[in-house]
Structure 1
Amino acid sequence: MSVGRPTGPAAASGSVLVQQKSAVADELAAEQMKKRAKGVSVEFLVSTFETKLQNALGDEYHDNTTFIHLAESFWGRREARFENMTSFLGHVETPSSDRVGENGVSLCTAIGIYDSHAVSDATHFLSWSWSYQVKKLLQTLKEYCTKRGLDRKKTFVWMCFFCNDQFEWFSGREQDGFETFGNMLRHIGKMVCIVDTYDAATAIYFKRLWPIYEIYIGFTEELAMDLALMVDSKEQLQQETLAKIKQAIVVEVRSAGASMPDDETRIKEMIAGRESDAKETNRIAKLLLVQMISNYLME
């Protein structure tokens, strides 16, 4: 005797139960996303954050300090993670609410405890690179808010450096960057691409895989995208023709890299698995960047 799929009232009841469980799961996922989609105010970053950095790091914080350097101070060097960490606003010793019995929270959480007005629902997702110099990026954010007429106290940016719990990421517990970055970008709905320079020969932005992936997601999901150029690039941009700028922008997704080999493999499989996919991704990324720069020039 074969056993088939239930029918009648029992089946209907089961179907309703499945739908209810699915709805609860979706609600919990949405609530978790809302909890994680917190950003840090630009006002805090360009004022208090930089002052606190200077106090915490002393001479180690200077014009050439990058976010990679900060990561080594806050979470330990790559070869010795979580050793000799510099605590920033208590991020090292604060008990974690997710990792029971362990200390260590995201910088965003530590900042929120220090100043509740400095953290709120993210208004902008930032596409950028940890290789950027801290001072230049902060100045770029400051100028972007001025250019767009945004109140820095009410502009909250989601930056992976601050908003991800790096104690989880560096320990390998949080490994699905696609879900985190993709869902966060969709949830926030507005991305600002912070580009160091449009010249591919010297650009950091075009050589990193995550920014290219983020642009790809922004395009396919039809999200609002904007451009913020770093100071040096802005001055250079004003002296060039659009034709030269188009020629200088080169996106080669298969040559771009990511810090984690697994991330690099997965991203390339997704957006550059075939030669035709890679060419289309390159075309989309370049088209959007040229369009944003063109709009920037006309403003």
Structure 2
Amino acid sequence: MGSGASAPQVGELKGISTIAKSDTKKKFSAACEVDGKIFMAPYNARQMCVYDTATGDVLSVEISMALGDATGAAGKFNSICQADGKVYLPPWSSAQKMFVHDVATGHSTAIDISEAAHAQEPKKFSCICTACGKVYLAPFNAGKMLEYDPCTSTCTGIDVSDAVGSAETGKFFSMCAADGRVYLAPHDAEQMFVYDARTGKGKAVDVSAAVDCSQPSKFREIGAFGGKLYLVPRNAPQMFVYDPITGSGTGVDISAAAGSVQQGKFRSFCTVGNKIYLAPGCAPRMFVYDTSTCTGTAVDISDAADPFASAKFRAMCVSGGKVYLAPYNAGKMFFYDPVTCMGAGINLSAVSDPDQDEKFESMCSFDGKIYLVPAAAEKLVVLKDFAADHRKEESEKAGISAAYVLDPFLRYITATAPKGLGFGDAGPSKSFAEISVVMFDKETGLGAKLCCPRDNGQGCAGVDAVDQTYRGRATHFVSWCWRYTPQHVSGALRNWCRQSDVKAENIFLWMCFFCNNQYRISDAISTAELKTIFESNLSSIGKMIIFLDDYLNPVYIHRLWCIFETYVSVEQGIEPDVVLPDSAATELTDKLRQEDNVLVMLKNNFQSINVANASATEPGDEEAIKNLIRESLGGFEKVNTTVKKRLLPHLTQVVKGFLDSYLLGDE
């Protein structure tokens, strides 16, 4: 395989007949999802097609009110968008009005567009977007940009001549909205047009950093990410990046992926994490641009298409943190996993002829499934790949590498800690609870901007954000406290690795700090769910390590979560390893020098274990666990006795080993 990947397994692959005749060319041009329904904009199809993902029903929506006397003609609508429960279709060639469909009521209306274009004009509006509660239509051949206000049902023509220059037709092909502004990417227009929907003012932006203003078919697509605008080059020699804050633009070299191709380079745009992906039209490779390093790389797509073929892919989308490219003339759909940096072709021959040209013009994703909208292809294709499910399961079962905890983690928090947090030489270490505030900050935290493989939302668990070499199926469940410092944990872990004679890189720890998605922690969880979660984790992993911070009075025995975890390990028949850092031995040595009754202190502290007096950081957690113990675990006394019997033999063995070493030592 050209990209070094094995073909992903595909499940639930099916072809669904639409309302369009099977032999119709370019049936639908675009699609969007509203309330679990996929709406397909008719290009040559006679009606709008709606696929209900819940029921599997295929419905039709009459559009004749927007066609005028052009009923049945070709080139009706070229784009689609949704806002506030309504679907909007801007008229392309044969359609004479904008079509608006209310999803909830099923009511449709046609909107006059004469403020910006002649009804009979071909290729009027190429794209549509929304900003500040209004709808905007990008003029291709239309004289002006159209602004539609749904609240007042009024239309206004917006002058774009400052950006158009000498171009009379083919002005703008794509548009997008960001931060209250509308951006139009120049096709034949000489400059980009920027319209502030809040102030009603527009301006032209010079794009000469990426392309000569007289170049036709400059940019095919535009998208916003990270506060900047990215213009996808069709015939332009470079990608154009515009910063609204500085008002300046730069060109980005795309030759790594485009090679010597001059025309029709890229067709579509999407983002995953901090990277931008451009789907190759005539370019031989997919282009990937890292916005954090401002560097571009190329991805081999030869497993899905002949790299030197034309019009390979026309659309792309993201699902489950993975990138999918819809085959237009390509033989297969292309699948790319940013985590592994591998791609593969997905065979759709069971539902679509791979040798057919112009198969799919558009695609979208919803609820873990990919929808490929037919152009010349006979059917709507719906698929869900097992790779996404596998990545979800992999994430939920993953552990953080012991090697990561012992080294890169310490370097990471040192490098990212603000002044005053303190770590190592910088001052007294803070607890994991304090470090978590910085480490899992919603804007700058570890994994804050990455897609979570468990729910596809933004922000993932730490274990999913680290390099893949530091993630693997959990081998040991760690019971510990967030009140510990990194020195406590790394010291205990280093001792355990030495005592167990294992290599840290072969051990993967299920630690809630790293393995729970800290961006999703919910306050509301039932007692039954708590028991199920711990039983599931412990039973599937099968091995447990208990980290203590101190011999004489460990924080562990006063924390409710820890006592609960120890009890569950007894229920599961799992014998834990109990380990402490070297710093605990130093403290015990000092106590032995200073005190005469150290063992009595040890005994008294452990005999004082009492669930009723134990605490949790979250009051809701404390109440839930104590209720669980009262209602289904036999009460406090049973749990107290069980935990004491579990911990004391281990601690006795650890202390005995220390005393043997201490008594036989030089001092």
Normalised to the residue count of structure 1, the TM-score between the two structures is 0.76
Equivalent-residue separation in structure 2 for 1:170 and 1:125 (angstroms): 21
Assess, with a 3 A threshold, how the Cα gap between structure 1 residues 72 and 172 changes in structure 2: closer, same or farther.
Answer: farther
Task: Provide the rounded CA distance (Å) in 1 between the counterparts of 2:633 and 2:574.
Answer: 26
Consecutive unaligned residues in structure 2, runs of 5 or more: 1-388, 658-667
Separation of aligned partners in 2, 1:171 and 1:221: 26
What residue in structure 1 maps to residue 214 of structure 2?
none
Q: 1:288 to 1:262 in 2, by over 3 A?
A: same
Q: Structure 1 pair 66/124, CA: closer, same or farther in 2 (3 Å)?
A: same
Contact 1:194 1:229 in 2 (8 A): yes
* Aligned residue number for residue 185 of structure 1: 538
Indicate the residue corresponding to 1:230 in structure 2.
Answer: 581
Report deviation, 1:246.
2.2
SS of 1:65's equivalent in the other structure is coil
Residue 195 (1) aligns with residue 195 (2): no
The alignment's C-alpha RMSD in Å is 2.9
Contact in 2 for aligned 1:254/1:272 (Cα 8 Å)? no
1:215 matches 2:573:
no
Q: Which amino acid aligns with 2:451?
A: P
Contact 1:53/1:61, CA 8 A, preserved across alignment? no
> Once structures 1 and 2 are overlaid, which stretch shifts more, 121-130 or 164-173?
164-173
Q: Choose the corresponding residue for 2:620, options 240, 243, 262.
A: 262
Structure 1 residue 54: Cα displacement: 1.3
Give the aligned partner of residue 51 of structure 1.
411
Question: How many angstroms apart in 2 are the aligned matches of 1:272 and 1:174?
Answer: 14
Q: Please state if 1:154 is matched with 2:506.
A: yes
Q: Which structure has greater strand proportion?
A: 2
**For the Cα contact (< 8 Å) 2:396–2:454, is it kept in 1?**
no
Extract unaligned runs of 5+ from structure 1.
Answer: 1-28, 77-81
Superposition map of 1:32-181 within 5 A: 35-59=395-419, 60-62=421-423, 63-76=428-441, 82=442, 85-88=443-446, 91-100=447-456, 102-111=457-466, 114=467, 116-170=468-522, 176-181=529-534
Aligned-pair CA distance for 1:177: 3.5
Letter in 2 for 1:245: L
SS in 1 for 2:611: coil
- Residue 361 of structure 2 corresponds to which residue in structure 1? none
Contact 1:33 1:184 in 2 (8 A): no
Secondary structure class of the residue paired with 1:193? strand
The one of 539, 556, 560 equivalent to 1:205 is: 556
Q: Distance in 2 between matches of 1:165 and 1:139?
A: 25
Cα 1:282–1:31 shift into 2, 3 Å: farther
Q: Which has the larger radius of gyration?
A: 2
Which amino acid in 2 is paired with 1:187?
A: S
2:331 aligned partner: none
Amino acid aligned to 2:605: A
For 2:417, what is the secondary structure of its paired residue? helix
User: Could you tell me how far apart the structure 2 residues matched to 1:30 and 1:291 are?
Assistant: 40
Shift in Å at residue 173 of structure 1? 8.4
Q: Which residue of 1 aligns with 2:341?
A: none
Report the Cα offset of residue 185 of structure 1. 1.1
Structure having the higher helix fraction is: 1
1:190 to partner: Cα distance: 1.0
Residues 1:33 and 1:189: Cα distance change in structure 2 (over 3 Å): farther
Corresponding letter in the other structure for 1:72 = V
CA distance in 2 between counterparts of 1:231 and 1:97 reads: 38
Residue 33 to residue 187, structure 1, CA distance change in 2 (3 Å): farther
TM-aligned CA deviation for residue 45 of structure 1: 1.3
The 3 A distance-change label for structure 1 pair 56 and 236 is: closer
Asked if the contact 2:491–2:580 (Cα under 8 Å) also holds between the matched residues in 1, the reply is no
- Report the CA distance between 1:122 and its aligned residue: 1.0
Q: How much does 1:247 deviate? A: 2.5
Give 1:71 deviation, angstroms.
1.4
1:219 partner letter: V
Mark the CA change 1:40 to 1:275 in structure 2 (over 3 Å): closer, same or farther: closer
Q: Could you tell me the TM-score, scaled by structure 2's length?
A: 0.36
Contact persistence 1:177–1:263 (CA under 8 A): no
Question: Residue deviations 1:139-168, cap 9 Å, x none?
Answer: 221121112111111011110010011111
* 3-state DSSP of counterpart to 2:610: coil
Q: Which has the higher relative contact order, 1 or 2, with Cα contacts under 8 A spaced 6 or more apart?
A: 1
- How far the C-alpha of 1:172 sits from its partner, in A, is 5.5
The 1-side partners of 2:411 and 2:615 are apart by 33
CA 1:31–1:272 in 2, change beyond 3 Å: closer, same or farther? farther
SS in 2 for 1:168: coil
Say yes or no: does 1:246 pair with 2:246: no
**Equivalent residues of 1:126, 1:191 under 8 A apart:** yes
